[in-house]
C-alpha cells in the first residue's frame, strides 16, 4: 500500500536572492470608469519592459474595473451582510480570473515563464486579528526555480467578517515581510505622490523622501484626485506605503503610461517619479 509522508520544506533557501516587487496598478492597466475595460496597449508596453527586468521579481496586479466597480456595488468591503453579496463575490472572482488570464496571455506572448497564484487561496485572516496569514512556500519555490509569480488584490476570507477586500498593496506589505525585497515599484496613472507645500500651498511632485521625512508628512498634505476606489486610491496607499517601507530599500511610484520612465527606473536612471527610501536601505 502506498504511504504518504510529509517532508519538511527542502531547498527553501533563507539566504535567498533579493527581489523586486512590481505592482501593475488597476488604474493603469484598466479604465476604472468602465466595467471590465482593459488598456491592452498599456499592458503590452508594461510587460515588454518587465520581461527585461534585471532581477528576480514578483508581479502583483490591481483589480481596476474588473474588481472595484462590483466590489462597491455589493459592499464587499463591509464583509458578509446578506446572501445577495455572494453573487457579487462569485462574479468578482470570475472577473479577476478573466483579467489575470489577459495578463498571462501578454506575458506568454513575450515568452516569460509566469505562474499565477490566487491570493485568496494562500491567505486568510484569523478571528480577532488584523494580520493576515499567508502560505508563502509555493511562491518562494516558484521564484527559486526561475518562474515569475503573478498575484493580485483579491477578496479574502476571514473568521470575523467572512470576507473582505484585500488590496494588492496590502499583499505587497505581507510579501515584503516574508521576502528579502529590494525595490517596490508602483506603476500608477499619476506621476508620483503630489504634496501640498504648507507655506506656499503649491501642489508639487514629491521627488524624493527618506523614511523619516515620509512619516512626517500628514495625510492632509497629499493631493487626491478623489477617484472612487474601494481600497482608497492614492490616499489609501499612504499607510500601506509607510508599512512597506519598514521592510524594503526603496519604494518608487511612477506613471505607467510612460514606458520610457519605467525603462529609466530599470536602468537606475533619474526620471519623473517619487522615490522613498525604506528603513532597510544601505544607501541612507
Q: Which residue of the chain is nearest ligand IP8 when measured via CB?
A: 153
Min CB(151)–ligand IP8 separation in Å: 10
154 - beta bridge partners?
Answer: 166
Min CB(144)–ligand IP8 separation in Å: 25
Nearer to ligand IP8, 154 or 250 (CB): 154
Write the CB contacts of 6 (distance below 8 Å, at least 6 apart in sequence): none
Nearer to ligand IP8, 169 or 173 (CB): 169
Nearer to ligand IP8, 68 or 277 (CB): 68
Min CB(138)–ligand IP8 separation in Å: 21
Q: What cell does 98 get?
A: 478573466
| DSSP for residue 190 | S
Min CB(39)–ligand IP8 separation in Å: 14
Min CB(1)–ligand IP8 separation in Å: 44
Nearer to ligand IP8, 24 or 275 (CB): 24
Write the CB contacts of 223 (distance below 8 Å, at least 6 apart in sequence): 194, 195, 196, 203
Min CB(102)–ligand IP8 separation in Å: 15
Q: Can you spell out the DSSP letters for 231-251?
A: T-HHHHHHHHHHHHHTTEEEE
Nearer to ligand IP8, 97 or 263 (CB): 97
CB-based contact 73:165 (threshold 8 Å) = no
127 - beta bridge partners?
Answer: none
Nearer to ligand IP8, 118 or 281 (CB): 118
Q: What is the Cα–Cα distance from 21 to 241, expressed in whole angstroms?
A: 13
Min CB(100)–ligand IP8 separation in Å: 12
Nearer to ligand IP8, 120 or 263 (CB): 120
Mode of pairing for the β-strands spanning 57-61 and 19-24: parallel
Give the largest CA-CA distance in the chain. Answer: 78
CB-based contact 23:172 (threshold 8 Å) = yes
- Residue position matching grid coordinates 528579502: 180
Interface ranges with ligand IP8 (CB under 6 A): 26, 62-63, 67-68, 71, 92, 153-155, 165, 167-169, 230-231
Amino acid at each position: 500500500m502506498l504511504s504518504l509522508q510529509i517532508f519538511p520544506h527542502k531547498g527553501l533557501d533563507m539566504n535567498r536572492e533579493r527581489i523586486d516587487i512590481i505592482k501593475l496598478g488597476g488604474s493603469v492597466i484598466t479604465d476604472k470608469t468602465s466595467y471590465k475595460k482593459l488598456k491592452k496597449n498599456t499592458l503590452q508596453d508594461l510587460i515588454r519592459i518587465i520581461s527585461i527586468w534585471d532581477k528576480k521579481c514578483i508581479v502583483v496586479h490591481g483589480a481596476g474595473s474588473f474588481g472595484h466597480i462590483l466590489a462597491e456595488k455589493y459592499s464587499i468591503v463591509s464583509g458578509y451582510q446578506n446572501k445577495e453579496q455572494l453573487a457579487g463575490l462569485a462574479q468578482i472572482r470570475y472577473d479577476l480570473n478573466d483579467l489575470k488570464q489577459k495578463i498571462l496571455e501578454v506575458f506568454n506572448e513575450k515568452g516569460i515563464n509566469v505562474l499565477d497564484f490566487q491570493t485568496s487561496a494562500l491567505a486568510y485572516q484569523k478571528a480577532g486579528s488584523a494580520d493576515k496569514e499567508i502560505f508563502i512556500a509555493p511562491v518562494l519555490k516558484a521564484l527559486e526555480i526561475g518562474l515569475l509569480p503573478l498575484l493580485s488584490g483579491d477578496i479574502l476570507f476571514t473568521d470575523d467578517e467572512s470576507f473582505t477586500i484585500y488590496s494588492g498593496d496590502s499583499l505587497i506589505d505581507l510579501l515584503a515581510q516574508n521576502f528579502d525585497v529590494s525595490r517596490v515599484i508602483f506603476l500608477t496613472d499619476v506621476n508620483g505622490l503630489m504634496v501640498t507645500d504648507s507655506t506656499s500651498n503649491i501642489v508639487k511632485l514629491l521627488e524624493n523622501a527618506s523614511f523619516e521625512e515620509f512619516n512626517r508628512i500628514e495625510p492632509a498634505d497629499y493631493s487626491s484626485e478623489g477617484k472612487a476606489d474601494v481600497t482608497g486610491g492614492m490616499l489609501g496607499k499612504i499607510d500601506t506605503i509607510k508599512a512597506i517601507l519598514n521592510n524594503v530599500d526603496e519604494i518608487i511610484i511612477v506613471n505607467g503610461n510612460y514606458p520610457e520612465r519605467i525603462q529609466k527606473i530599470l536602468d537606475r536612471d533619474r526620471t519623473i517619479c517619487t522615490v522613498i527610501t525604506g528603513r532597510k536601505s544601505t544607501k541612507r
